[in-house]
Structure 1
């Protein structure tokens, strides 16, 4: 029977360009050269703030200018003249895509890229006069619109570069969304919390980005490795895939994933540890865990296995190089066991 895919969440260990080149080699070797794999554009945040997931996404938002401050990224206006750090982020991403274009010559199949979603970006990036964009309803709306435009351009650029890719997946990372909706994001002073963002507004911003991804010719998935992920909201906003850390799900999360599988969505199960444990689980243990989960939900593996995606629990930036490679090997082996 057709089995699950295997892929990574995004990040890899390392601090220099050599680390990115090695990460890409591992990704293409483990996931691009063997079934059932979904290769992806790796992130190596150890190279600096311009290489992290927020920095990369800020670099895509060409409608808004930003620079790096001691507290992190801050918007500076809409002059169309981005600051040095934002230009560096754009340049580094273009350099990484050049490397992918070179190493993936002749590759035909599916490929995945990652961007940060509007709510995690609003909870991370500061507005010009300080505090997070989350504090300003107008600013976060403007950010969501600019993000949708920037990501659509990014999708078109990747499609142009990787002409052999027949299916492009865009993974939207929203680790801060549960905290945003729970009113748990601290203010700049640290003494208060930002106001709760209610489901209709939270859904609308995500929906705008996911629609832009689809309109640009890609398949939008959403990844949230935090507890309390609003999976039903993300599905209803237009996500065609949901990726989670399986160990963080509550009862409603399990139910939402079951409903998503039955509705035909892809579901990414984060089951492989992100750093090497004292006694790493074997492939058989991972397979049995997935089988127990499907059994708990009353789902037939023969009917839903081709919609599953096996992944690490989250990114691999804190792993050793050896474990990062082994984690992807394990994901591929576990996925293959269902075929």
Structure 2
């Protein structure tokens, strides 16, 4: 990619997976390209031969798979939480490509040519302990990213009975127990989704469930954990008037998002499930929560959704129209819908 190209483009490949191209860098946001067979596949993960960095929002089955294969093929640096990093290490991704984060980090991003020059000792490198992989001095950074702690959403509806389609205007209130938290998501992943072949009778296995059983059982190709490892959001500081936030689940710590600086010009926000505010189920609709979130972020000029497209199991999709209308009526932000696998100049 040409480092002199001033455009910033993004391609959406479904769920929360994007390819961002900016200032000579090719960056993957999640890598869920190979999906259950009933879902459309927009790009073959094994054909990806260009990546400088991979950012992983969390370690679940619809976010992390593919990161190991892309990283080993391209030499990309992977920035992710400790759970995802441990899985990638076990899968054979070289240690010098792995950067564990937990939120609060500020990370300079470098062109591949400058990384290679630093390794060869041809340019000034950043201070570091003896034996650490050399990286270019900060003054060579193409741009930077700020990492922030975030939260995974909750499932909508009564436990075990999610709706077929999520309406973003549906209001949810109350808690299943005084201890409702994302530990319930972890339990549901381990003892629910990962055991569909054991717990769903054969006569109830529709094509979506069958495809999920096959996908979850193929642990050789699909790297993931039942534990998200700690949800993360990433704010990319590309240039003046070019800050892009990617938050891949509908949850947030209000204080973190409210105090985040710089405020994003564009925000990619997840719109699915029941919102998670400060670790507790949000009382209200997804649309209500999204409007609050947009307000905390200073009303970015453009907002685009993720996680709302097709799923192999219920909920099968999200009706975003209510959230679209509420955002347009209550904020200065404008919603932009992306087409699949089409490079879009977003900034």
Task: Output the TM-score relative to the length of structure 2.
Answer: 0.35
Structure 1 length-normalised TM: 0.36
Larger % of helix: which?
A: 1
